[in-house]
Amino acid sequence: MEYVIGVDLGTSAVKVLLVDRSGQVRGEWTESYPLHQPHSGYSEQRPDDWVEKTIVALRRVWETAGVSPESIVGLSFSGQMHGLVLLDGDGNVVRNAILWNDTRTTKECREIEEKAGAEALLSIAKNRALEGFTLPKLLWVKNHEPHLYERARVFLLPKDYVRFRLTGHIAMDVSDAAGTLLLDIKTKTWSETIARAVGVDLSLCPPLVEATAFVGTLRPDVAERTGLPSSVNVFAGGADNACGAVGAGILAEGRMMSSIGTSGVVLAYEQSGEKDFAGHVHYFNHAEPDAYYIMGVTLAAGYSFDWWKRTFAEAAPIAEIVKRAAESPIGANGLLFTPYLVGERTPYADADIRGSFIGIDSAQTKWDFARAVMEGITFSLNESVEIIKASGKTIDSVVSIGGGAKSAEWLQIQADIFGLPVEKLKNEQGPGLGAAMIAACGVGWFDSLKQCADAFKQVESVVEPRPDAVAKYKELFSIYREIYPHTKELAKRLKAFRP
């Protein structure tokens, strides 16, 4: 029996999956690493922590699964997007990585818009300048740490740095590069127009490859530490959302994914790079060559649920919270919640907005609040669903992954709010499975990612929308959409009082 490995480099941990030729996960191992927040709005990690923990996980996954390491033939990656890793001429890390959820770069975003022009950004990179993207971080280092910027010879994204340390090969795949704000996503080349406008030398940009590209084998010292043969074929891999889409089978028109993790994502397959969404949703290259995806992001999705549990029901098991919340009626007895705990990204690119409970009544219970949080997260995702539908795209069904797929109650809420059938997968492993699928195709098990998805993906159940509930949620959603414009100025005025 042969196996491939998918490495998913997340924000809090690296998760490694061992997958056989039928798509069954035969082993998994997770290793966590710390997050450093030296100032409010800052979010950093040590790149070498990723490497060390990945090496540990690679060894533990085959040891605990009880398979021969010689049977492992391929390996690929999924990784947190947008993070900035700067390397000097010797390949050493210049400073801690600045992560996707770091919000220090508001001034740099305005600088990019002023110098490059908002229209040029949308025409070339297909996205607006947002704090989470990589280019604003690069300019922040240039503006605030010029001595470190001068030492830098190349920048990488998180998983690309780990892959470099494992193989010695420097490259960046186009699905992840699309999130830097420096890529021309149509031509899949670095944009000289944007780089010149903002004063960034294109020599800092690494070579580009497809997510499915073969990039080498394991370095001898890495092979020794992981116990894997140095002959293991390594493939570039992709951005976490692109790999999540691969794992969920979002590889054809009409397919959409809803992912509720720390952040929330709605993602739809797109064959063309020609559409114009005016920056209201993200537009990125897919892990599948010559394809794209459009995506909306809720910054605090599962994070909002975790915050509510930690603050108001710490001792209660998640399953009990969801069950009791489901006993509250649609609309949570007149209560709405907006999940803007750390600002918002889609469709409101607003780092200052904060969350609200609207309609608090003395008759409500904490379980009404729990339901309002679940509905509010889903309403936020539905803002992106509506933008995608308005573009003329037909969506036939939604695949739900992450925390929102773990309960029948939340699956039903998604089906009713989206007004679409929602699929729950039998063996949902998210981006890590997508990374393993890239490796499976790379070693020749399948001719395409779609063929691999058809073999690996197994639907456990389909939740249909209920017409009466759909009608009620449409009415509630129209009210929900009025909350942001009525609270954004209040949130800005309250900013001075926040820690």
The residues annotated as belonging to the active site are 240
C-alpha distances in Å from residue 33, one per residue of 6, 14, 458, 491? 18, 8, 32, 33
437 annotated as a binding-site residue: no
Residue 485 · residue 338 · CB < 8 Å: no
256 annotated as a binding-site residue: no
Q: Give, to the nearest 10 degrees, the angle between helix 106-116 and helix 134-144.
A: 100
Nearest to 37 by CA among 77, 97, 94, 92: 97
In angstroms, rounded to a whole number, what is the distance separating the alpha carbons of residues 87 and 102?
A: 20
Residues making up the annotated binding site for substrate are 81-82
